[in-house]
Amino acid sequence: MNKTRRIKSMAQLTAESAILAYWNEIQTGGVNVGKWIRLLYEVILQGLEEKRWFYDKRLADNAINFIERYCHHYKGKLAPKRIKLSLWEKAAISLIFGVVDATGRRQFTEVFWVIGRKMGKTLLAAAIATYMAYAAGEYGSELYMLAPKIDQSDLVYSATEFNIHAEDELDAITHSTKYRGLVIAETNTTIKKLAFSSKKSDGYNPMFYVADEVAAWPGVNGLRQWEVMVSGTGAREEPLGMAISSGGYENDGLFDELMKRSTGFLMGNSREAHILPLIYMIDDANKWDDLEELEKSLPGLGESVSREFIQKEIITAHESISKEIEFKVKYCNLKQNLSTAWLRAEDINKCFGYPKRTVQEWSGFYCVVGIDLSQTTDLTSACFVVEEDGIIWVHSHFWLPKNRLAEAMKRDQIPYDIYIQKGLLSLSGDEFINTDDVHEWCMSLVRDYKIYPLQIGYDRWGAVEMIQKLERSSFHVDTITQGFNLSNVMDTVEGMIREGRIRDMDDNGLLKIHMADAAQQMESNTDHLHPRKKLVKISKNAHVDGMAALLDAMAMRLFKWEELGQRLMNVNKRVRTDGNAGENLR
């Protein structure tokens, strides 16, 4: 059968779909979900409407029917009965297996499933593993259950093995081996549990892999193991990787990386199109002990676990700070130092698309400059922000070492050569940025354009020699520490961006990329209702230099407003023609 006949757009999606049925429950208040789940279904349905992806009901139904026919509860009062999926579970399975691209292949190759304790993460992961092994794989499939320790990886493995032995039809074609794990001879499929090790970094060719409790995975090694698995899927047509977890304490690891990528997808980062974020998390941390709020992180509350049990857990959590923190992490999924995407694509778009304005137009205006200097061979960015009629206009420029251009274009998949042609990026130095070029850019504002920076803010990694040269040129320079201390600045900038009051004057696509790559990390052990945040990258290879320079400039505006605000509003702009930088800057 031709796959294209089966796939459906939004217009053809009927109420028979668990996706639409679940969305209707969300809309009518039949189920209580958090902001990330609500946003996910909005994104999915909008994508179906726009035909960015399609829905194949047969593929979704195949997965649901197989799981309910062949998969079993493996412990507790329901064991060994077959699984009966709830609506939220059917909807999730439909998203994973039923949403396809124009060729009919699965749209999502990675699933990030964050869900509270006692919600059947292991049960669902094992059910999906069983389906992938017997009904949705290919010849020579390799399935891996991963965790830092073998005991942890054994949880999903044992639940999968239970499904197999519980069904004569599956058990008859499967045998256990010492080194290869479970083997299905007729399809040469293997199912194996692994405790990952940095010493073993290649040789995997997974069709399916599941990473258990990734919030507890150690940073660098955990990221490396996930990347090894992702890179090993290159020869597979429809591979699938799953990361399952409640909250946790490990920072800058796989959980944070997947959370930033996932929220970037949900907030409109178009470069993320193949990760499916199923993020069940409470919205209001101050209501961590409210059962209604907890429905957002525990979608099976009342089914998978009783409300009475959770109420007892809440009472226990109130007994000590440590127990309260553990409850918030494991039942609410309020990970410490949580990192998420910062700005929504629709808000970023409000900063761009205006008629271009030349630098010459701002002759006689006062402004503030922000500089983000690279530590080694990275991009350097500087910008000036100038106000007119209550609107903040931004002009950004970037520098990159000459000998790093080809490497950077390949690594970042960004056409830096085009931005050079547009005059938005300059080559500077050979291997390292020549900071004299940044100094000259600042000087040219005054000398060539009669634009007067009243203050320059630079990050604390700034080159001492360049700062001294700026000071000798009569610029007022101050250091900015890019940390949680800029939380209020980030809030202010975000609000102004949403209101359309910060606008780029050059239609600078490179600045737009840096804004989309900006993420926010929340400070732990602070007021969860109003947590402090700091700027971080959405992924390790992303760049936020342009956004950091903009924050430096906006921080200077806010910090110096009482002293400089009247002039920075440029109500009665004054055109000077003598070119005396020192006199104009004082």
Indicate the domain borders of the chain. Answer: 77-82+104-336, 345-585
What does the pLDDT read at residue 244? 95
Are 213 and 147 in contact by the 8 Å Cβ rule? The answer is yes
Are 254 and 211 in contact by the 8 Å Cβ rule? The answer is yes
Inter-CA distances, 254 with 40, 100, 128, 339, 540, Å: 21, 26, 21, 11, 11
What does the pLDDT read at residue 270? 61
How far is the C-alpha of 443 from the C-alpha of 585, rounded, in Å?
11
The CATH fold assigned to 345-585 is Nucleotidyltransferase; domain 5 (3.30.420)
Are 502 and 493 in contact by the 8 Å Cβ rule? The answer is yes
What does the pLDDT read at residue 9? 54
Angle, alpha carbons 265-266-269 (nearest 5°): 40
Q: Is the pTM of this model over 0.85?
A: no
What does the pLDDT read at residue 285? 85
Inter-CA distances, 351 with 248, 367, 504, Å: 36, 18, 6
Q: Angle formed by the axes of helices 545-559 and 509-516, to 10°?
A: 90
- Among residues 21, 571, 43, the alpha carbon closest in space to that of 344 is found at 43
What does the pLDDT read at residue 529? 52
What does the pLDDT read at residue 339? 80
**Domain boundaries 77-82+104-336, CATH class:** alpha beta
How far is the C-alpha of 586 from the C-alpha of 582, rounded, in Å?
6
Are 236 and 136 in contact by the 8 Å Cβ rule? The answer is no
How far is the C-alpha of 67 from the C-alpha of 129, rounded, in Å?
10
Pairing relationship of beta strands 518-522 and 533-537 according to DSSP bridges? antiparallel
The token duo for 119 is 């919600």
Q: Provide the residue-wise pLDDT of the chain in tens; the chain has 586 residues.
A: 344 445 555 545 555 689 999 999 999 999 999 999 999 999 999 999 999 999 999 999 999 999 999 999 999 899 999 999 999 999 999 999 999 999 999 999 999 999 999 999 999 999 999 999 999 989 999 999 999 889 999 999 999 999 999 999 999 999 998 888 999 999 999 999 998 764 555 678 999 999 999 988 887 788 888 988 999 998 899 999 999 999 887 777 889 889 989 999 999 876 789 999 999 999 998 899 999 999 999 999 999 899 999 999 999 999 887 788 889 889 999 876 678 889 988 899 999 999 999 999 999 999 999 999 876 568 999 999 999 999 999 999 999 999 999 999 988 888 899 999 999 999 998 888 899 999 999 999 999 999 999 999 998 666 788 889 999 999 999 998 888 989 999 999 999 999 999 999 999 999 999 999 899 888 865 555 567 889 998 887 889 999 999 999 999 999 999 999 999 999 877 444 444 433 444 4
Are 447 and 439 in contact by the 8 Å Cβ rule? The answer is no
Handedness of CA 218, 224, 227, 229 (dihedral sign): negative
The token duo for 481 is 């520490």
The token duo for 22 is 């679940």
What does the pLDDT read at residue 466? 86
Are 267 and 520 in contact by the 8 Å Cβ rule? The answer is no
Strand partners, 73: none
List the beta strands (DSSP E) in 301-416. 339-341, 366-372, 380-388, 391-400
Q: What is the dihedral of CA 426, 430, 432, 435, to 10 degrees?
A: -50
